[in-house]
Structure 1
Amino acid sequence: MTRMPSAERRRQLTAAAIRAMARDGVARTTTRSIAAEAGVSLSVFHYCFDSKQALVESVITTITDDYVTVVKEALRPRATLEETVRAGFQAYWEHVRAHPDAHMLTYELTQYALRQPGFEHLARRQYEMYGDAYTELIEQLGDSMDFRLSVPVPVLARYLAAMTDGLTLNYLVLGDAAVWTAVLDTVTAHIAGLVVTDVTGREESRPG
């Protein structure tokens, strides 16, 4: 077996776990089946992860980081804030359409963690990560486009996390891809409407 740095081996095992869990379900995926999926011995798994709990956390982090990176790259400043926000939502939406199994897995991971004794904190951490990711995206956009919001950033971050969580599940259940252009346009207009404007109707710069 080719020797790999431990960090690279963990990434390999995490990717194998995502494939196995998406195919077989979280509860039915064992450390042994993950090792087999990755083509390594069980001892290699236990060298990289001291428990299934640690692996589940790595899976949650990897999936979240993957789509956050996609949105970050899409949030390049455009002619207007609304166009920029729309591009970010579009990038996320395209990721959902391209990787429905990975997004479906996130909901299963939440339920699994909530029901599995000792794993409950992973569900909480999963949703904290969603809020942290949106906070970072909002701050990135604020730095590049210089605007002020009518609501605190933590409030908007949690709202966006809840909104995209619900919309994603709605799509996974109902499909109806054709209606999503109008849905994303509506969400974009709402978010853009939270930018504070001055009496002339221009976007007001942040203080300082």
Structure 2
Amino acid sequence: MARMPSAERRRQLTEAAIRAMTRDGVAGTTTRSICAEAGVSLSVFHYCFDSKQALLESVIAAITEHSVTVVRQAIQPKTTLRETVRAGFQAYWDHVSAHPGEHMLTYELTQYALRQPGFEHLARRQYERYSDTYAELIEQLCDRMGFALRVPVPSLARYLAAMTDGLTLNHLVLGDGSIAADILDTVTDHVASLAADDARTG
């Protein structure tokens, strides 16, 4: 087996865990099945992760980064703020549509963590990560496009995290993607309206 840096090995095992959990569910995924998916020995797994909590935290961070990466690429400044924001939402939604199993896994991870004594902080950190990520993206967009907001960034970040979380779950349950565009258009208009007038005109 080829040697590789421990960080790269952790990434390999994390991605293998995501595939296994998406296929078999969190409760149905074992350390052995993750190792089989990654093609490594149990000793390699235990060298990289000293606990199941550490693995799940890595999985949650990686899944979040999967969708955030495409959003970051999509929200490069365009002609208007509205176009830029809408492109970011569309990139996220395209990821949901292309990887429904991975997004379903995020909800399973939340429920699993909440039901396991001592794991509750993982669910809390998962949702804090959603808001923190939105805050980061909002601040980057404000800097790049030179506008200020009428509301505090953390408040807007929590609002957007709750909106996309609810819309994603709604889609996973009902399977009707046709309503997403209208909702995302509405939220985009709302976000664009929160830019201060002097920043948009100056």
TM tier, shorter chain? over 0.9
Alignment partners' CA distance in 1, 2:117 and 2:177: 37
- CA RMSD in angstroms comes to 1.2
Q: Which residue of 2 aligns with 1:144?
A: 144
Bigger mean CA deviation after superposition, 106-115 or 183-192: 183-192
Q: Which residue of 2 aligns with 1:124?
A: 124
| Counterparts of residues 12-31 of structure 1 (less than 5 Å) | 12-31=12-31
Q: Which residue of 1 aligns with 2:186?
A: 186
Alignment partners' CA distance in 2, 1:109 and 1:180: 24
Q: Say whether the 8 Å CA contact 2:77–2:144 is kept in structure 1.
A: yes
1:15 CA drift (Å): 0.8
Amino acid at match of 2:82: E
Q: Structure 1: which 5+ residue stretches go unaligned?
A: none
User: What secondary structure, in the 3-state scheme, does the structure 2 residue paired with 1:195 have?
Assistant: coil
Q: Which residue of 2 aligns with 1:108?
A: 108
1:109 CA drift (Å): 0.4
Q: Which residue of 2 aligns with 1:161?
A: 161
Alignment partners' CA distance in 2, 1:69 and 1:147: 23
1:197 CA drift (Å): 1.7
**Residues 120-171 of structure 1, C-alpha deviation per residue, up to 9 Å, x if partnerless?**
1111111111111001000010001111211100100111111100011111
Amino acid at match of 2:129: M
Q: Which residue of 1 aligns with 2:89?
A: 89
2:33 is the alignment partner of 1:36: no
1:110 CA drift (Å): 0.5
Q: Say whether the 8 Å CA contact 1:71–1:88 is kept in structure 2.
A: yes
Amino acid at match of 1:177: G
Report the count of equivalent residues.
Answer: 202
1:39 CA drift (Å): 1.3
Q: Say whether the 8 Å CA contact 2:167–2:180 is kept in structure 1.
A: no
Q: Which residue of 2 aligns with 1:203?
A: 200
**Residues 23-61 of structure 1, C-alpha deviation per residue, up to 9 Å, x if partnerless?**
111011111211111111111110110011100000000
Q: Which residue of 2 aligns with 1:171?
A: 171
| Aligned-pair identity (%) | 75
User: What secondary structure, in the 3-state scheme, does the structure 2 residue paired with 1:147 have?
Assistant: coil
1:204 CA drift (Å): 5.5
Q: Which residue of 2 aligns with 1:135?
A: 135
Alignment partners' CA distance in 2, 1:112 and 1:71: 27
Bigger mean CA deviation after superposition, 173-182 or 83-92: 173-182
TM-score by length of 2: 0.96
Alignment partners' CA distance in 1, 2:111 and 2:44: 28
TM-score by length of 1: 0.93
Higher helix fraction: Structure 1 or Structure 2?
Answer: 2
1:179 CA drift (Å): 2.7
Alignment partners' CA distance in 2, 1:143 and 1:14: 33
User: What secondary structure, in the 3-state scheme, does the structure 2 residue paired with 1:203 have?
Assistant: helix
Alignment partners' CA distance in 2, 1:26 and 1:204: 50
